[in-house]
Amino acid sequence: MSQTRHVPVMLQRCLDLLAPALARPGAVVVDCTLGLGGHSEALLGAFPSARLVGLDRDPEALELAGERLAPYGDRATLVHAVYDELPDVLGRLGIPRVQGVLFDLGVSSMQLDEAGRGFAYAQDAPLDMRMDQTTGISAAEVLNTYPPGELVRILRAYGEEKFAKKIVDAVVKERVREPFTHSARLVELIRAALPQAAKRTGGNPAKRTFQALRIEVNGELSVLERAIPAAVSALAVGGRIAVLSYHSLEDRLVKQVLTAGAANTAPPGLPVVPEQYQPRLRLLTRGAELATEAEIAENKRAAPVRLRGAERVREENP
């Protein structure tokens, strides 16, 4: 498989955000979403004294990234792990604190491009969608076994799908006749279930349902809820975190954690804010930064991205 097609999103901006922390001798940076190793390769190249820890739950991605990062030798340590396992991984490696953390959330280029993984609605494939195919339940199992009410909740909560009830009614009727196994049948069913007006706007009508199934199969939001606070806790003072999100649900979670860390927690009305109530983070981005038009032209997957960054300025409040 060619790695040249993989263009890391907002690469230079991520490097710039992390640079002040990673230019220090002996800095450790964690790429929590290694993927094909594009961001990691750039980090190792830009910061010659830094050591990298790369995490990915997808064994195939780890293998390919390992080949790509082999020239960096023992400066790169790659670990098969989900990113909420960050504290355990750092504990096993004997790394108490790190200077940089990068998250590039969502589905990787490789997973979208490999037809057999079932992530993409544009081509027929088995409905799998597991980022780690060695564990967990597939999207087909979710569609074929979840109660209708639970499927409606998932499509509404994770896909922000207005027509969740219509789609689920059609799924439940069809799965009795024959269980779902492939993506093309699901795409056709969604097209047929939606009102005409809904099919004329917003790209492929299956997009939101596929997003919702992927998030459910991989437990993405619950993992992220644990992972962002864990990453902030792992940062040394002066350390920096950069997070690339691709839909509003992810971005909302990231925003909540970073803005809470950047707020003072003092009771209202104190003339002077004591140390224990001072913010422990400083926000590095004003709101969420977007990709430039030039970058989106070069890499259409950058279109929905939201980038947020923060710097650790104090230890945990006692």
- Supply φ then ψ for residue 31, to 5 degrees: -95, 105
Say if residue 105 is in the same domain as residue 15: yes
Q: Tell me the CATH number at 64.
A: 3.40.50.150
Domain of residue 290, residue span:
11-110+220-312
Which CATH number do you get for residue 213?
1.10.150.170
Number of folded domains in the chain?
A: 2
pLDDT per residue over 210-239, tens digit each? 999 999 999 989 999 999 999 999 999 999
Q: List pLDDT tens digits, range 36-78.
A: 999 999 999 999 999 999 999 988 889 999 999 999 999 999 9
Give CA separation, 4 vs 36, 109, 230, 309, in Å: 10, 11, 32, 27
Query: Can you say which residues are annotated as belonging to the binding site?
Result: 37-39, 56, 83, 104, 111
Binding annotation for S-adenosyl-L-methionine: 37-39, 56, 83, 104, 111
pLDDT tens string 156-182 = 999 999 999 999 999 999 999 999 999
pTM of structure: 0.87
Question: How far is Cα 76 from Cα 73, in angstroms, rounded to an integer?
Answer: 6
Q: Are 224 and 106 members of one domain?
A: yes
Buried residues in 131-144 as b, exposed as e (16+ CB within 10 A): bbeeeeebbbebbb
Which residue has tokens 């780690």?
132
The reported pLDDT for the residue numbered 94 is 98
Q: Supply 301's token pair.
A: 């997957």
The verdict on residue 194 lying in a domain is yes
Question: What are the tokens at 48?
Answer: 């010659």
Asked if residue 5 belongs to a domain, the reply is: no
Judgement on whether residues 182 and 61 belong to the same structural domain of the protein: no
- Contact assessment for residue 208 and residue 161, using Cβ atoms and an 8 Å cutoff: yes
Among 166, 195, 218, identify where a domain stops: 218
Domain boundary (192, 218, 244) is at: 218
pLDDT at 109 over 80: no
